[in-house]
Amino acid sequence: MDFDRSIFKAYDIRGVVPDQLTVEVAYRIGNSLAGYLKPTSIAVGRDMRSSSEEMFDALTAGIIDRGVDVVDLGMISTDALYFAVGKFGYDGGVMITASHNPGNYNGFKVCRREAVPLSGSEGFNVVAEDVAADSVEKASNRGSIARKDISRDFVSHVLSFIDPTIIKPFSIAIDAGNGMAGLTLPPVFEKLPCKITPLYYEPDGSFPNHMPNPIEAKNLVDLQKAMAAESCDLGVAFDGDADRMFLLDRDGTPLGGDMVTALVADNILARTPDESILYNLICSRAVPELIKRRGGTPVRTRVGHAIIKPLMKKHNAVFGGEHSGHFYFRDNWFADSGLIALLVCLELLSRSDKKLGEILKEIDPYVRSGEINSRVESIEDKIEAVAGDFADGEADRIDGLTVQYSDWWFNLRPSNTEPLLRLNVEADNRDLLDEKVKKLLEIIRT
């Protein structure tokens, strides 16, 4: 079958509907997954995109034609899909979503038993070959589709990570971005005393207000206005499939995912010290420093959930965090959940007499550039040029190029999907940061 193989990414399957991702391709993906996972049942959830229903019909037709049963979870968040697979012992799971992409995109996040993810090198490569070969197989007995409502079980699960009785009546503005958080959050916060100012809770795959991508500052403007109008203690933004969560302190300043990682680690280690916690190499030095101070063991990793989840199991890590807003929990089948991370942060704030900004000042003495992207002709040549100019630092190639000095460090790594180099720099002070960013960009962009 002739199709656009670029829809198979490092961590999911994703493309424009119907230009790249058609119902025919979705059918063949479902049929191939049913063969690759060798399951008796696969749980399937979907987001609110206009194409998600037709993608569900096509994908599940491919699955049941191969004699495998489908458990229809309805419209849910991605972390609820992972929960269902882990909790109810399904042989695999598929979330139909394109996360934070525009409404004309859709795709599939896939996991096997116990919510272990498939990736470009673990499963998607086989599925892509099957689709290309048009190798559809049909069983003599088709599978069935049965509906299951997991909402109550999911609420109980996420609340089990905290003591709900100690949560203070915080005033919180939450922007669901017309994504799945608008469905998953209300039944959770019904159990808590917080005053919620909801923004864009109605699921709408056309995203009439802004794209569900909280990493971009322009998508936080409405949330920041609502926070100021209601004098909120903090703000929260979720992406489209509600697996990533971003915090804003009371003055509307967004926290990086690494600072949320530090906050979650702080609360977890206060209860269970001597645990291992993973963090990816883009995270601030403040993260491993805090973990050590609290008696934990920091473990530095490459970027990406397909990398982190297996390492979580290897180290039996209680928690893992990424700068991108993904947060993983051992008691969540090592899968990620922004909602659980939010609840753990609320518990930390409830146990403390300090405001969020005060806690951050204590744990974070550094300044950072944020991710700076540059389009280049030869990624490898640019990385080697930078490595040569900074050969006096302590370097590693765990993920791209990381070079560390006593008072600053940087990571330069290629995008998984575009001819881009992604630069992150951290330093002890602003002047040093600006100096090093300027020098690095001069090499990268000339």
262 within domain boundaries = yes
Residue 278, classed as helix, strand or coil, is: strand
pLDDT digits (tens, 9 = 90+) for 372-393: 999 998 999 999 999 999 999 9
Residue type, 34: A
CA distances from 351 to 72, 344, 355 (A): 39, 11, 11
pLDDT digits (tens, 9 = 90+) for 70-122: 999 999 999 999 999 999 999 999 999 999 999 999 999 999 999 999 998 88
Tokens 């996972």 map to which residue? Answer: 37
88 within domain boundaries = yes
CA nearest 395: which of 405, 407, 406, 385? Answer: 405
Torsion, CA 279, CA 416, CA 22, CA 60, rounded to 10: -30
The answer to whether the CB of 382 falls within 8 A of the CB of 336 is no
Bridge-based pairing of strands 319-321 and 276-280 is parallel
User: Does 264 share its domain with 244?
Assistant: no
Tokens representing 435 are 């100096």
pLDDT digits (tens, 9 = 90+) for 405-425: 999 999 999 986 677 999 999
Residues carrying an active site annotation: 99
Q: Domain of residue 398: give its range.
A: 367-444
Q: What CATH number is attached to the domain comprising 391?
A: 3.30.310.50
pLDDT digits (tens, 9 = 90+) for 248-268: 999 999 999 999 999 999 999
User: Does 277 share its domain with 345?
Assistant: yes
Percent with pLDDT over 70 in the chain: 100
User: Does 398 share its domain with 331?
Assistant: no
Q: For residue 284, what is the DSSP state?
A: -
Q: Categorize the per-residue pLDDT at 303 as very low, low, confident or very high, splitting at 50, 70 and 90.
A: confident
Model's pTM, two decimal places?
A: 0.95
User: Does 279 share its domain with 224?
Assistant: no
299 within domain boundaries = yes
N- to C-terminal Cα separation, the chain: 42
User: Does 278 share its domain with 239?
Assistant: no
The answer to whether the CB of 270 falls within 8 A of the CB of 294 is yes
- What is the number of structural domains in the chain? 4
